Structure 1
Amino acid sequence: MIAPAMASASESPSSELVARERSGHTAVVEGNLLYVWGGYMSIADDEVFLPSDEIWVYDLERSVWEVFHMSGEVPPSMSGTCGCLLNGHLYIFGGCDNNGQTNQIYCVDLTDGKYTWKKINYDIGSAPSHRDKLSCWVYKGKIIYFGGYGHKLLSNVDRTNRSFIIDKASWVEEVFWGWNNEVHMFDPMQASWSQPQTHGRTPDPRAAHASATIGKRGYICGGRVMETRTSDIHCLDLESWTWSEIMPGSSIPVGRSWHSLTAVSDSSVFLFGGLSVDCKPMSDGWLLDVETKIWREVEHPFKNKPRLWHTACPSKDSDVIVFGGSCDYILLIDNSHCNDALVFQTQPYPLFRICEDYIAKNVRNNETLRNQLSLLPPKLLTAVQRRMSYYRPSKRLKY
């Protein structure tokens, strides 16, 4: 069983504050800030949960970490929770703590600087069963959850529709663990749970898959389905609640779990990393055009940095910020968790971004640029000054 980590915030050798390494955590980007919460790490021979009353904040423009204390109805320390950003609030649901999987939902306002947790008590409907390693989509102010691994009472398992596949290796008397393919929706405004009736062919029950939202469609990719790992892609229309499977042509990524899928345009998603069918950590990146249904493997500078059970957040200019995760098979090897952030450029940058980055990179070693900084328009000058902090050699994020 994983125990809570009680150590204080760590610092780098240069005394600059850095977030601790972790896997199974939650991360979101709001504006220019990356927020990181929860997960677990290895200390000596133990795996420990990270404190649930702290949140790490990374300024993506200045390359500066800060850690803040959280108060209120603080959730337990856990990993595998499903987190998302909605109207400036971080919502988390499910996860695994020292007592096993949970089915509680919490939220915290990320915009007021107070970081006060609130446990949400719903008035309508029933919450999903206890689970972790699930995913979600955000659409029209609601959060739609899919899948995950967890437990149910035998009396609540419907064996006729295969919405819950029992893990034969795990059960205790009348309690069964397994994978599900259920769709549940939470409405924060009404504090209500509902279970939409879906149509079409539902994907197989799974956990440790990845999801992304484009327009009115929610996509899922891969994950662990019983004893195998898949690379299939399914789409749920979030208005008609109709499932469809995307059947890509040409080359496709190998089956995997614990990977990430991030929307980077109106028609494409970016897949990175994960654990392959033969339990190898992956470092490959792929773009899927959901209109043409074609996968394309992309070159990137992080081929030597495999990651699994990391987070991947969309940022400005279609960048994808990958943080943390494990660089090896976490069920077999300890001390393999990471705390670096990798920035993937998935689309060509606009001219303003190109100019901003060029000046910030070169101004320290170019006297002519330094002397002309004051001539820049105010907006560009402010942006360049922030990026100059980012490009300090000891602090910059990895591109």
Structure 2
Amino acid sequence: MAAAKGPMPLESAIPNTIASEESKAVVAKNGKTNDIQDKEVSMEGLCYISAYDQWTPLSVSGQLPKPRYKHGAAVVQQKMYIFGGNHNGRYLGDIQVLDFKSLLWSKLEAKSQSGLSESAETVSVAACAGHSLIPWGNKILSLTGHTRDPTESLSVKEFDPRTCTWSTLRTYGRSPSSRGGQSVTLVGNTLIVFGGEGAGRTLLNDLHILDLETMTWDEFETTGTLPSPRSEHAAACYAERYLLIFGGGSHSTCFSDLHLLDTHVMEWSRPEQQGIIPEPRAGHAGVTIGENWFITGGGNNTKGVSDTLVLNMSTYVWSIVTSIEGRNPPTSEGSSLVLHTIGGEDFLVSFGGYSGRYSNEVYALKPSLKPSLRPSGPAQQINEPETNGIAPISVGATSSRKAIFEIEELQDEKGSSRAKISKTLVQAVKGERNQVEDGLYQERLQKLRLKQELADVEDRNVELAKELDLVQDQLSAEGVRASKLENDISELQQRLQKMNALEYEFESLHREMDAASEEAASSSNQPPRGGGFWRWNG
């Protein structure tokens, strides 16, 4: 059957079968309740997602969990268990379950027992965030992260889904200090704990190994260059021997580096990354399918990361699976990512996260990459530490399911006549298909580059527009100021004219006063008439 192309409607993930006219079902689609009449909803889980490499929101029913991030997720017997997390700065301690067959959410009322006691009572397990959930058989191990009342050492708890019971496991040896945001990776029968953020926001890069058979902690000495202290990174195991560490963050920056630890000789190395060099990120999530390591979500100091990446762990070649716009869980920080396989098909399932808002949505992606059938031994896959962990690039190491499906469809159509086609022709078809896919891949890269350049240009235009608005505002302010100065000058000129007129009037009055004074003085110098000298000598 050929792979479906193009976007798939949301409803196609949930097939409906017609029942009696009286039947009626209510389905909650991401929190919105819809009435469906004259149909019986038969939710067959993830099987009906037909599009590859495309994140699809799942229609789920039941009471939705509280939105959260930095929670833990694990899959046991076709059910996804969600524990803890952070919502608005508050730690959560509930256990939520999503049944992948019915896509029904339910909340568990967990019991807790300590030591070897048979009694158990319903109590609230210590709320936490930044912890790690690891499926182990039919049970789930939880390595505590950040809690309201932190302990001195990292505790290990076990949850039994069958009895819905928590128990604290007794460990031996020197336990790691309490922390959150660490990576916990299952390698064989051991758990490898690396890094995280400890008490007082201290960033760590220590390595601890827990033997699950003896429940004994060991702290190993390593050689090579250790990764710098970090938290909120991702870790993966390859070939039951190699531990890979990618990304993470400190208090001031995020990383995009890749580190490799050979657990047989306990030596660190820095593989040379090939292909698309990923952006720095922290708070991302990852799962492995064969030799492919899928990375989703996370963010850095400037933005959230929207692309879903895949690393071929045998060649260290990065490629982009898909990009998703908006604030969906696959682009969120602190979202969980699990792997579920149905009928031979692999599905990535993302839940929750934070990207400006807390989420409780569920998204699924069916990857087109097929697990490699090559031998998984380290000699064929990864170079030894003497070569600094740099492996040769294997061209065409991964193939597309779409090409294989189209060839199989062609075989079905031709029937018996297809058997007569030579192997050379089949190889030619595959070769042409690989060339087409390579071309599409390059076009995709070019599109992403152009998209990034366009975004940069748009950002620059926005900055220039802001600068132009600022200059215009300054010019407007200067214009207002100039107009005010002109008015002030006009007013001063008017006052000056009035002062000149008053000065002229003052001078006129002064001249008149001087003339009057002279006239008065001249009149006072004339001889008096009658009497005086003339009277005595007349």
TM range (shorter): 0.5 to 0.7
What is the deviation of 1:297? 1.2
Partner of 1:234: 208
Change (3 A) 1:81 1:17: farther
Partner of 1:156: none
Amino acid at match of 1:202: S
Partner of 1:341: 308
Unaligned runs of 5+ in 2: 1-5, 11-28, 33-44, 114-122, 316-371, 376-394, 407-413, 449-538
What is the deviation of 1:345? 0.7
Amino acid at match of 1:320: W
Which is helix-richer, 1 or 2? Answer: 2
Q: 1:309 is paired with a residue of what secondary structure? A: strand
CA contact under 8 A between 2:190 and 2:211: conserved in structure 1?
Answer: yes
Moved more, 348-357 or 262-271: 348-357
What is the deviation of 1:52? 6.5
Partner of 1:183: 156
What is the deviation of 1:61? 8.6
Q: CA–CA distance in 1 between the matches of 2:127 and 2:112?
A: 18
Residues 1-399 of structure 1 mapped to structure 2, 5 A cutoff: 53=31, 62-98=52-88, 100-110=90-100, 112=101, 114-125=102-113, 128-152=125-149, 164=151, 181-226=154-199, 227-276=201-250, 279-300=252-273, 301-316=275-290, 318-328=291-301, 336-347=303-314, 349-350=372-373, 354=396, 357=399, 375=421
CA contact under 8 A between 1:61 and 1:390: conserved in structure 2?
Answer: no
CA contact under 8 A between 2:8 and 2:50: conserved in structure 1?
Answer: no
What is the deviation of 1:205? 0.7
CA contact under 8 A between 2:235 and 2:245: conserved in structure 1?
Answer: yes
What is the deviation of 1:387? 12
CA contact under 8 A between 1:127 and 1:193: conserved in structure 2?
Answer: no
What is the deviation of 1:103? 0.6
Partner of 2:528: none
CA contact under 8 A between 2:195 and 2:231: conserved in structure 1?
Answer: yes
Q: 1:62 is paired with a residue of what secondary structure? A: coil
Partner of 1:155: none
What is the deviation of 1:78? 0.6
Amino acid at match of 2:138: G
Give CA-to-partner distance per residue, 1:169-205, whole Å, 9 cap, x none: xxxxxxxxxxx62111101122111001111000011
Q: 1:325 is paired with a residue of what secondary structure? A: strand
Bigger Rg over Cα:
2
Give CA-to-partner distance per residue, 1:256-303, whole Å, 9 cap, x none: 011011122211221100003x52110011121222111121122354
What is the deviation of 1:215? 1.9
Partner of 2:340: none
What is the deviation of 1:96? 1.1
CA contact under 8 A between 1:181 and 1:204: conserved in structure 2?
Answer: yes
Give CA-to-partner distance per residue, 1:76-126, whole Å, 9 cap, x none: 01111111222222111100124711111112122x2x3111211224535
CA contact under 8 A between 1:61 and 1:386: conserved in structure 2?
Answer: no
CA RMSD of aligned residues (A): 4.2
Partner of 1:157: none
Q: 1:202 is paired with a residue of what secondary structure? A: coil
Give CA-to-partner distance per residue, 1:141-167, whole Å, 9 cap, x none: 111111211214xxxxxxxxxx615xx
Change (3 A) 1:284 1:247: same
Which is strand-richer, 1 or 2? Answer: 1
Amino acid at match of 1:312: G
Q: 1:257 is paired with a residue of what secondary structure? A: coil
The count of aligned residue pairs is: 307
Moved more, 235-244 or 116-125: 116-125
Q: 1:64 is paired with a residue of what secondary structure? A: coil
TM-score scaled by length of structure 1: 0.66
Change (3 A) 1:142 1:151: same
Q: 2:270 is paired with a residue of what secondary structure? A: strand
Larger relative contact order (Cα-Cα within 8 Å, sequence gap ≥ 6): 1
CA contact under 8 A between 1:58 and 1:64: conserved in structure 2?
Answer: no
Partner of 1:22: none
Unaligned runs of 5+ in 1: 1-14, 20-50, 153-162, 166-179, 365-371
CA contact under 8 A between 1:57 and 1:67: conserved in structure 2?
Answer: no
CA contact under 8 A between 1:199 and 1:242: conserved in structure 2?
Answer: yes
Q: 1:72 is paired with a residue of what secondary structure? A: coil
Kindly, what percent of the aligned residue pairs are identical? 22
